[in-house]
Amino acid sequence: MTSALLILTEEQKQHFEREGYLIVKGLFSAENLAEIDATFADIAMRPVPGHFEPDLQAEGSDPLKRYPRVMQPHRFNETAKKYMLHQPVMEALADLYDEEALAAQSMFYYKPPGSRGQALHQDNFYLQVEPGNCIAAWTAIDAADEENGGLLVVPKTNALELSCPDLADAKESFTTHYVKPPKDEKAMPVVMDRGDVLFFNGNLIHGSYRNKTKDRFRRAFICHYANQSATHISNYYRPLYRQNGDTVDLEINPNGGPCGEEFQIVYPH
């Protein structure tokens, strides 16, 4: 099924297919971004068990104790759900998939000054969308660059299979998995303005820098999607949602992925 309203050019779609990622501007208005700002500023003030569990008295070397990421905010906050299903994003995804997209996950990263980054990894190792693949829509709520912990991507690794990860450096990454890029392939920075959306394929190797600044957050609203023709996904991401808010239940893809039981996914990436 082809999207009825194409908002991406053929050149943009070809770039996504070839490189594994694409930056799109103009999908969020200033009013949209202000509403996201206010929503997650409010969420940051108190714990939400199972979704956002900060230490409100935290002091010391790890700012992520006070500002951990918010997992699946669409399950308890209607504004987060609204923007997970944001029509311009869903239309861009329909262009990339050439069929309807289903929303599976939402996250919000505060990434305050001094925060560790996230080691290189592949998203579909966790979502396990089959057949097809997941696509991330990574929206910069703050401008993101090399200094404040912007994203890194390894171009064209969308063509690779999923890799069994190694152990990440805990001094630099708050997550435990690390996927080594192929020989002679290097991660490159993705510089983004506030409101830009980076779409990337679920097999693309990507991660982020440490936030080296003293006064700049690197907030991001990140959602993951599956293609409508997918039949399976990891249990954590069910149910999925159509753009109109209707729920869709795919079959459960058992944990472990391509790497066996020693890599059971007990917590989402």
Residue 208: CATH number of its domain: 2.60.120.620
pLDDT for position 5: 53
pLDDT for position 61: 82
236: left (phi over 0), alpha (psi -120 to 50) or beta: alpha
57 in any annotated domain: no
Give the domain extent around 32.
10-51+63-263
Q: 233 with 226: CB under 8 angstroms?
A: yes
pLDDT for position 260: 58
16 in any annotated domain: yes
256 in any annotated domain: yes
88 in any annotated domain: yes
Per-residue pLDDT of the chain (269 residues; tens, 9 = 90+): 333 456 899 999 999 999 999 999 999 999 999 999 999 999 999 999 999 999 999 888 899 999 999 999 999 999 999 999 999 999 999 999 999 999 999 999 999 999 999 999 999 999 999 999 999 999 999 999 999 999 999 999 999 999 999 999 998 999 999 999 999 999 999 999 999 999 999 999 999 999 999 999 999 999 999 999 999 999 999 999 999 999 999 999 986 555 654 444 444 44
185 in any annotated domain: yes
Domain count along the chain: 1
Q: 115 with 219: CB under 8 angstroms?
A: no
In angstroms, rounded to a whole number, what is the distance separating the alpha carbons of residues 257 and 260? 7
The tokens of 117 are what?
């980054």
Which CA distances in Å does 181 have to 6, 25, 100?
33, 28, 31
In angstroms, rounded to a whole number, what is the distance separating the alpha carbons of residues 245 and 209? 34
Report how far Cα 168 is from the mean position of its chain's Cα atoms. Answer: 19
List b or e across 88-109, with b for residues whose CB sees 16 or more CB atoms inside 10 angstroms.
bbbbbbbbbbebbbbbbbbbbb
Residue 129 CB: number of other CB atoms within 10 A?
A: 27
5 in any annotated domain: no
pLDDT for position 135: 98
269 in any annotated domain: no
